[in-house]
């Protein structure tokens, strides 16, 4: 059972801006939630920190007004919190928000020197208008958990019509116009830790600036709650399921293989 006082200190469930939370990848990260109303994503990953996605879709629309996001951001910004980066993520896939570009531009005007990042599953990058919205970001981190269509469908459980081929096509199209840092984020479990040569070949084709190797250390919630955004504190009063992870030794072996095969830079959750 969670401590209600502690919960109120950590979570702000009424705001589209949350945190900052300490990220193993980015430092103190202030989250921007362009979806907010309910969990909405073109993936329904079996390990998702949000739990079962309520609306599995790749429909692009305005989910929350830009003005509200900017007002919520101003309140946090005025509190002079320590913020290393601003990260678009939250209650689902941020590129499903048709006004994501307006949010990026608006926050850039308010905080021109604070880096802006996005965590995206890359399902919508095949759309030129989505890629155009993201060009002013300092870093784009794309999700890549599978090297073949069967594994992709098993792990990411995407919306109807979304394929691994479409994801890879979008990432390659983005690289042609995007000048910032492009990183790949991969969640490894016993399910996808075997077909590593094919995964390495995809990475060599993409040539990201960094590959983040993760494993599901956070449990899978039985139900969606907005507080699951950035919930590194593991504060739950509902059922959660612990997932199978790669231990540190297996993660190191995986990293060593990929470094040898690709020559790329890697960052592991274990270091």
Cα–Cα dist 17/261, whole Å: 40
- Compute the residue count for the chain: 271
Residue 230 pLDDT:
58
∠ CA 247-199-269, rounded to 5°: 30
pLDDT at 241: 76
CA distance 244 to 261: 26
> Which is more confident, 243 or 3?
243
Query: What would the pLDDT profile of 40-75 be if each residue is shown by its tens digit?
Result: 999 999 999 888 999 999 999 999 999 999 999 999
Predicted local confidence at residue 24, as pLDDT: 77
Least confident range of 88-92, 116-120, 241-245: 241-245
Q: Supply the pTM of this predicted model.
A: 0.89
Q: Is the pLDDT of residue 3 over 70?
A: no
Cα distances from 237 to residues 1, 114, 173, 222, 242, in angstroms, run 5, 35, 43, 10, 15
- Percent of the chain at pLDDT > 70 equals 88
Rounded Cα gap, residues 52 and 79, in angstroms: 33
Residue 4 pLDDT > 50: no
Contact 50, 39 (CB under 8 A): yes
Query: What is the per-residue pLDDT across 110-134, written as a single tens digit (0 to 9) for each?
Result: 999 999 999 999 999 999 999 999 9
Digit-coded pLDDT (tens) for 218-238: 777 766 666 666 554 555 556
CA 137/CA 182 separation, integer angstroms: 10
Does the structure show a pLDDT above 50 at 8? no
CATH tag for 4-268 (out of 3.40.50.1220, 3.40.50.150, 3.20.20.70, 3.40.50.10470): 3.20.20.70
For residue 26, pLDDT over 50 is answered with yes
pLDDT of residue 23: 82
CB of 17 within 8 A of CB of 72?
A: yes
Helix 66-78 and helix 100-110, axial crossing angle in degrees, nearest 10: 30
């Amino acid at each position: 059972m969670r401590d209600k006082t502690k919960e109120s200190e950590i979570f702000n469930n009424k705001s589209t801006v949350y945190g900052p939370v300490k990220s193993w990848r980015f430092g103190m990260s202030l989250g921007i939630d362009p979806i907010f109303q309910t969990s909405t994503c073109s993936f329904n990953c079996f390990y998702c920190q949000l739990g079962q996605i309520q609306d599995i879709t790749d429909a692009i629309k305005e989910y929350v007004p830009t003005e509200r996001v900017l007002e919520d951001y101003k309140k946090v910004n005025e509190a002079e919190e320590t913020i290393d980066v601003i990260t678009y993520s939250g209650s689902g896939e941020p590129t499903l928000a048709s006004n994501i570009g307006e949010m990026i531009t608006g926050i850039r005007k308010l905080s021109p020197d604070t880096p802006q990042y996005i965590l995206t599953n890359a399902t919508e990058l095949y759309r030129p208008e989505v890629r155009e919205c993201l060009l002013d970001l300092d870093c784009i981190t794309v999700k890549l958990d599978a090297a073949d269509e069967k594994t992709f469908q098993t792990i990411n459980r995407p919306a109807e019509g979304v394929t691994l081929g479409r994801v890879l096509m979008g990432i390659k199209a983005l690289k042609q116009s995007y000048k910032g840092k492009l990183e790949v984020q991969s969640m490894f479990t016993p399910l996808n830790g075997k077909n590593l040569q094919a995964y390495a070949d995809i990475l060599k084709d993409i040539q990201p600036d960094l590959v983040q190797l993760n494993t599901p250390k956070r449990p899978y919630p039985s139900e969606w709650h907005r507080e699951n955004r950035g919930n590194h504190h593991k504060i739950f009063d509902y059922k959660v399921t612990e997932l199978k992870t790669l231990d540190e030794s297996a993660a190191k072996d995986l990293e060593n293989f990929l470094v040898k095969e690709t020559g790329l830079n890697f960052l592991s959750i274990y270091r």
